[in-house]
A and B are shown apart, each in its own frame.
Chain A
């Protein structure tokens, strides 16, 4: 859960990028790291715990300090999970303390089953942490829209966003940095709006 430190006037928020393997979660973080406009020293190092072939093994981690709100320094911690099915325990660990989720789906037609499986896995893992997806802000990102064999957005909406309350969704080509900042800004807005509407965040 987000931490608000009244003594040091800091707000810390954890956002996790979730989704199927090779969907572009790490690419999202790399693009944010490479292109975000921040004051000097406000962007941390991008840490990737990856295999030699650049597959995420544990997680990627990017701390960024955003603009301050009414005197509170806002520190965002962006994480990715490993998408490969076998690393489920690791995904559960990374989800601990999550405040907001970006679900990065792969738009290629032949990846639809993996998208749905990953989404179901997300719901299951949240349950093990006694969390409910309905209570956590999340957005959907339909990535790899630049590839030729992509499914229509309407179809992906039907598969992943077909619920009572629909969440914002974005099309993206993360490797071109298209849709990356739009997604991040939306989850940020939803997070802070959630805090506003709840009025009882976790404090530190």
Chain B
């Protein structure tokens, strides 16, 4: 099962820096790093006009569906997906076994530019994740301090329903 390494402040800052640079190079609108299970890990750019949590879940699903199609047509994988729209388009590129890079950009922009700059960005992200992977994992948070067994119900039904 694919698992992500522990990311600390330094990793997150580096990932954001990579995304910032990518958007500056491409004039893209928003860039995201998402887990292949659908979680949003990091994002940069305009986050107000998009629901990034849902985009992460759906982009991951769409990408994974394409991976399955790749297998059906005897391809090892389709490592990228391009969705073309009238106002915005989206490019998804696999980073490693666990993550993907998603770039949302205005449709007037050339996808070639996005693809060209996304490849080294994905390599840098993979490199940083590798650094995180190799770091001593013992610095992790022990969730037992949360003592959640004592908490009340997490999800409450609205009164009067």
Dominant SS among interface residues on chain A: mixed
Contacts of B39 on A, CB cut-off 8 Å? Answer: 3, 12, 14, 77, 97, 204
Check B149–A189 contact: CB distance below 8 A.
Answer: yes
**Residues of A in contact with B (beta carbons under 8 Å apart):** 1, 3-8, 12, 14, 32, 35-37, 44-45, 47, 49, 58-59, 61, 63-64, 66-67, 69-70, 72, 74-77, 79, 89-90, 93-94, 96-98, 129-131, 177, 181, 184-185, 188-189, 192-193, 195-197, 199-204
Interface string of B107-150 (1 = CB under 8 A from A): 00000000000000000000000000000010011111111110
Minimum Cβ distance to chain B for residue A59 (Å) = 7
Check A14–B5 contact: CB distance below 8 A.
Answer: no
Across the two chains, which residue of chain A brings its CB closest to B72? A89
Q: How far is the CA of A44 from the CA of B51 in the complex (A)?
A: 9
Q: How far is the CA of A32 from the CA of B155 in the complex (A)?
A: 9
Minimum Cβ distance to chain A for residue B21 (Å) = 19
Q: How far is the CA of A47 from the CA of B53 in the complex (A)?
A: 11
**Is B49's beta carbon under 8 Å from chain A?**
no
Minimum Cβ distance to chain A for residue B54 (Å) = 6
**Is B81's beta carbon under 8 Å from chain A?**
no
Contacts of B73 on A, CB cut-off 8 Å? Answer: none
Supply 19 further A-B pairs (C-beta < 8 A) apart from A77-B57, A181-B157, A201-B140: A3-B35, A3-B41, A7-B8, A8-B12, A37-B155, A44-B53, A69-B146, A79-B38, A98-B37, A181-B156, A184-B154, A188-B155, A189-B148, A192-B146, A192-B149, A196-B144, A199-B143, A199-B144, A204-B7
